[in-house]
Amino acid sequence: MRSPRRFGAFEQLEDRSLPSSFGVAWADPGHMTLSFVPDGTATPTGPSSLFASLTAAGTTTAWEREILRAFQTWAVNANINIGLVADGGQALGTVGAVQGDARFGDIRIAAAPISADEAAAASPFSWTGTTFAGDVTFSNAVPYRIGNVASAYDIFSVALHEAGHTLGLDHSTAPGSATNATYAYHAQLTASDIAALRALYGARLPDEFDLLGPNDTRATASAMVKDATVGAYVADGDLTTLGDVDGYKFKAGALTTITLQAKGLSLLQARVSVYDSTGKLVASAAAQDSFNNDITLNLALANGATYFIKVESATSDVFGIGSYRLTADPNNKAAKPLRTPPVLDAHTNDTLA
């Protein structure tokens, strides 16, 4: 039997001139981002080989999903949203914003040489830190698989442990904790893990609409507010539990575009359904995965009539929870009558007559 191996400690990635510590929450945990660094991206111990290193575990989509699922498993327990963003390949630790740097995620996932007895390492948030904060480096020298496979590390279990560090949690000695210092397979968090997370971030709270009262039905649907600058109805909401249903109403245009944006905001897989004033379903669409989780519906509706939008989870796993921005644009340009193309030369003056 393989002897348990120690997980990585944050020192591997930490800028030693700016020591950070655990126990500090991210500045804006509701708007965090994550990116997978392209192979060849510079790290302190050599170029990243994330994609090459994890290819034995399965397809890119499969192992990326396991890492996202690990972060999301923490996030759903607090007011934390982690949106997937592109990574520009700048060196880890590049000078920039600790959170909100547009070139890459707050959390960057890489693989590179780390200490021989470690599977991965992660850096917590630090006010005085660098863009290293949040970054996770998997070892490029140990075997990874998806699931509890002998003589290999389970990607989800390792990512779950490192995500705890990224969110500011130190090692725990509580039985079964995902942040135990020694490797073990974990299917989920323990109650002590969730308590430790909530001690830093609090519990996940309903969005501003749900705080005013349930808006699950047409009778209680929240009126969307029209944004004067864009001329569209906008609502920033959150599916806070798998059972949460958010209802909205708005006045339609003849052609209305309804968009639920989740990409870059959270890992939510939502379903959007549109009903007319009699409760008849007009249209419905769901995100298929957390990589492409925006939804767009272009609908021909009764101009000036009130319609209802229902937002609910499209999946019963952790990806059924997260924040989103819902937009209903009744001014779809396609709704305007087509202009007759200007006639430059109708050939009515081609002759002298």
Minimum CB separation of residue 34 from Zn ion in Å reads 18
Which is nearer to Zn ion, 7 or 275 (by Cβ)?
Answer: 7
For Zn ion, which is the closer residue by CB, 14 or 101? 14
**Which residue lies nearest Zn ion, judged by its C-beta?**
7
Give the nearest distance from C-beta 303 to Zn ion in angstroms. Answer: 58
Closer by beta carbon to Zn ion, 112 or else 252: 112
Minimum distance from residue 30 beta carbon to Zn ion (Å):
25
149: tokens are: 């496979």
What's the min distance (Å) between Cβ of 336 and Zn ion? 58
Q: Min. distance of Cβ 28 from Zn ion in angstroms?
A: 24
Phi/psi at 245 (nearest 5 deg)? -125, 125
Contact 6, 118 (CB under 8 A): yes
Minimum distance from CB of 188 to Zn ion (Å)? 18
Q: Binding residues for Zn ion, per CB under 5 A?
A: 7
Which residue in 196, 158, 143 sits closest to 8, CA to CA? 158
Indicate the residue among 116 and 211 with the shorter CB distance to Zn ion.
Answer: 116
Q: How far is the CB of 125 from Zn ion (least distance, A)?
A: 15
- Other beta carbons within 10 Å of 294: 15
Measured from the CB atom, the residue of 7 and 36 that comes closer to Zn ion is 7
323 half-sphere exposure, CB direction, 13 A CA radius: 25
Which is nearer to Zn ion, 97 or 199 (by Cβ)? 199
For Zn ion, the closer CB: 7 or 138: 7
CA distance 336 to 163: 49
